[in-house]
Amino acid sequence: MRALKYHGGVALADARREDLTAVEAGMANLRRHLTIVRDVYGLAAVVALNRFPTDTDGEVDLVVRLCAEAGVRAFPATHVRDGGAGAEALARGVVHAVREGRSDVRFVYDDHLSLEKKSEAVATRIYGAAGVVFEPRARRRLEQVEAEGFGHLPICVAKTQASFSTDPSQRGAPSGHTVTVRDVRLAAGAGFVVLLTGDVMTMPGLPREPAAHLIDIDDDGRVTGLS
């Protein structure tokens, strides 16, 4: 619910307050996700609404109704508070979708396409972008990777999770933007090519004081600091 309100224009600090207008506006983001799942990938879909204590009945009822109008069932789930019982309705909804839903699995691009064409397919069909621009360094790396015989690999786009664009401030369901690739990296062992966009970092963040500093082992082999 907080994510919907965020994409509806509410600051994260205020997202715990009831705001039906923001919820309805934020549904544009969820509808885009549903379009990707159903129309691009050809899969049946259900919506899992992870309910927090600050989510009001009015907000939950609104999302369930708007999802129904979009042709998909939404299931409020309270498994964090209630354990398995809190997700039972959701689980039954997933089973029903698997048994009754019609799926025609499709992929975003064909393997034989060039890495650039694969990038354009993801950008336009998934992110709603107008196209892709490769910065000079990224262009050189892209050509090198293909020259080395890895052009057949799928791509992995490293991008902000906060927006369909590469700009985290663009909320909702932005369209017509440009996806700028600043670097290209080959993950030959894993079997994909990574496109780096925006300011995203691929290295996991660490706290100022890593937990490893608290871990020790004494002369008798007893380890401390793991709890």
Taking only the tens place, the pLDDT of each residue in 33-58 is 999 999 999 999 999 999 999 999 99
CATH number at residue 177: 3.10.410.10
119-128, 153-162, 200-209: which range is least confident on average?
Answer: 200-209
Do 71 and 121 belong to one domain?
Answer: no
Look at residues 65, 100, 135 and tell me which one is the last residue of a structural domain: 100
Do 6 and 75 belong to one domain?
Answer: yes
Q: Where are the extended beta strands (E) located within the chain?
A: 47-50, 74-77, 131-134, 155-158, 178-187, 192-197, 216-217, 223-224
Give the mean model confidence (pLDDT) for residues 90-96: 96
Average of per-residue pLDDT values in the chain = 94
Q: What distances in angstroms separate CA 52 from CA 1, 19, 36, 72, 133, one per listed residue?
A: 8, 15, 26, 21, 40
Q: Is the predicted pLDDT of residue 142 greater than 70, yes or no?
A: yes
Do 157 and 92 belong to one domain?
Answer: no
213 in a structural domain: no
209 in a structural domain: no
Do 145 and 87 belong to one domain?
Answer: no
Look at residues 100, 133, 166 and tell me which one is the last residue of a structural domain: 100
6 in a structural domain: yes
Do 51 and 93 belong to one domain?
Answer: yes
* Confidence bin at 212 (pLDDT 50/70/90): confident
pLDDT of residue 202: 80
CA 208: distance to chain centroid? 27
Name 111's Cβ contacts closer than 8 Å, sequence gap at least 6: 152, 154
DSSP code at position 219: T
pLDDT of residue 123: 98
pLDDT of residue 204: 67
Q: Which domain holds residue 87?
A: 2-100
Do 145 and 80 belong to one domain?
Answer: no
pLDDT of residue 208: 76
33 in a structural domain: yes
- Token pair recorded at residue 7: 């994409």
* Cα torsion angle, 5, 197, 175, 42, sign: negative
Q: Work out how many domains the chain is built from and give that number.
A: 2
Tell me the per-residue pLDDT of 95-109, one tens digit each, with 9 for 90 and over: 999 998 788 999 999
73 in a structural domain: yes
Do 77 and 156 belong to one domain?
Answer: no
70 in a structural domain: yes
Give the mean model confidence (pLDDT) for residues 194-199: 94
pLDDT of residue 226: 83
Q: Is the predicted pLDDT of residue 205 greater than 80, yes or no?
A: no
pLDDT of residue 80: 87
Please, are residues 183 and 138 in contact by the beta-carbon 8 Å criterion? yes
Look at residues 77, 100, 123 and tell me which one is the last residue of a structural domain: 100
Q: Is the predicted pLDDT of residue 227 greater than 80, yes or no?
A: no
Give the mean model confidence (pLDDT) for residues 79-89: 93
Largest CA distance in the chain: 66
* Confidence bin at 192 (pLDDT 50/70/90): very high
Do 41 and 86 belong to one domain?
Answer: yes
